[in-house]
């Protein structure tokens, strides 16, 4: 069996990974799972983007049955346990260095993921599976397998926009854990540096870095570069026609975007530029400036009217 191609998105949360996954998933020949690693968490209550429970979704139920047939069964609780034991961020060095190959739990979890991806490809006919789980250890683990052709998309977004998005979400939902600006900025730096390490391990042609700001400014150009990374011809992947099933509406994780009935609308979220307090913006910049500069961001606060994404 030819290895299934996985486009695995890495980067900080609140960087637009759900938007990116949805856009790629709307191309013929691609299927966006969103955050596959969340599939097994609260499995009995998890709903697919098509609106029905995962157990009843024709795509996911068939793919899980395919995986179960090859693995001798699928136990959501066991898979969550395997995740926790094998894909912690601190394991990235061990995995990249090849030392995970001898760890039986890593092999079991990798096998389970491979079977699921293969099932999704078989059920949907997709040549490219888009996973926005953003787990560096999981991406590194997949990159070492021969039955998976894993390509890494490192998605970055201005750290100040990420910090503002976290604060905005906490303000709208008091149940969310509030993070200090220092915590958010430090996590942004650590997450992207670890993503860079996984990308280096992927080698030439195995990884691509894109910016959220470039995606929303020119989605077509960004998507063309991602399709090139996947190793398929741009002519072989096209926008879906009216008769094409909306496979992008079977995402099982990510934000509420997955439940939208219409095609994804790209609109920049720049609200932070006008609404984020200057002291907060300056504080995040002070912590993140080396990577901000490396990724091509101006260290000065951008001017202009704030605009929020819909």
Query: How many CB atoms sit inside 10 A of residue 230's CB?
Result: 24
Contact 124, 58 (CB under 8 A): no
CA 60/CA 216 separation, integer angstroms: 30
pLDDT single digits (tens) 58-75: 999 999 999 999 988 889
Beta strands in the chain (DSSP E): 4-10, 30-34, 128-131, 148-156, 207-211
Contacts of 9 (CB under 8 A, 6+ apart): 17, 20, 21, 130, 131, 132, 133, 134, 153, 155
If you average pLDDT over each of 92-106, 110-124, 177-191, 218-232, which comes out highest? 110-124
Taken in order of first residue, the domains within the chain and their CATH numbers are 4-158+204-266 (3.40.50)
pLDDT single digits (tens) 131-185: 999 999 999 999 989 999 999 999 999 999 999 998 887 655 555 566 688 999 9
CA 309/CA 264 separation, integer angstroms: 12
Q: What mean pLDDT, rounded, does the chain reach? A: 86
Contact 11, 191 (CB under 8 A): yes
- Encoding tokens for residue 99? 């030392």
Contacts of 130 (CB under 8 A, 6+ apart): 6, 7, 9, 21, 24, 25, 30, 31, 32, 33
Q: In this model, does residue 50 exceed pLDDT 90?
A: no
CA 137/CA 62 separation, integer angstroms: 27
- Encoding tokens for residue 245? 């099933």
What's the predicted TM-score (pTM) here? 0.89
Of 104, 149, 158, residue with least CA distance to 7: 149
**3-class SS of residue 222:** helix
CA 190/CA 78 separation, integer angstroms: 29
Q: In this model, does residue 236 exceed pLDDT 50?
A: no
Per-residue pLDDT, averaged over 276-289, amounts to: 95
Q: Confidence class of residue 305 from pLDDT cuts 50, 70 and 90?
A: very low
CA 72/CA 66 separation, integer angstroms: 10
3-state SS track over 17-28: HHHHHHHHHCCC
Per-residue pLDDT, averaged over 227-231, amounts to: 89
């Amino acid at each position: 069996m030819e290895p299934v191609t996985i486009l695995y998105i890495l980067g900080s949360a609140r960087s637009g990974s759900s938007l990116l996954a949805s856009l790629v998933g709307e191309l013929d020949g691609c299927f966006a799972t969103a955050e596959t690693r969340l599939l097994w968490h609260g499995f009995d209550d998890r709903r697919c983007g098509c609106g029905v429970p995962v157990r009843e979704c024709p795509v996911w139920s068939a793919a899980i049955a395919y995986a179960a047939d090859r693995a001798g069964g699928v136990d959501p609780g066991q898979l969550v346990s395997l995740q926790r034991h094998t894909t912690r961020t601190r394991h990235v060095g061990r995995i990249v260095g090849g030392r995970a190959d001898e760890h039986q739990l890593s092999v079991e979890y990798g096998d389970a993921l491979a079977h699921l991806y293969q099932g999704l490809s078989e059920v949907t006919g997709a040549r490219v599976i888009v996973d926005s789980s953003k787990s560096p250890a999981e991406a590194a683990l997949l990159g070492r397998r021969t039955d998976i052709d894993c390509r890494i998309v490192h998605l970055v977004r201005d750290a100040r926009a990420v910090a503002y998005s976290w604060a905005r979400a906490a303000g709208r939902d008091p149940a969310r854990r509030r993070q200090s600006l220092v915590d958010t900025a430090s996590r942004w730096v650590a997450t992207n540096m670890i993503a860079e390490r996984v990308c280096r391990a992927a080698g030439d042609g195995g990884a691509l870095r894109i910016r959220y700001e470039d995606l929303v400014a020119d989605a077509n150009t960004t998507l063309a570069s991602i399709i090139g990374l996947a190793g398929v011809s741009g002519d072989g992947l096209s926008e879906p026609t009216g008769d094409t099933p909306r496979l992008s509406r079977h995402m099982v994780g990510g934000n509420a975007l997955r439940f939208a009935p219409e095609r994804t609308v790209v609109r920049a979220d720049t609200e932070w530029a006008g609404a984020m307090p200057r002291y907060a913006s300056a504080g995040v910049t002070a912590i993140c400036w080396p990577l901000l500069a490396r990724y091509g961001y101006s260290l000065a606060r951008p001017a202009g009217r704030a605009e929020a994404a819909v």
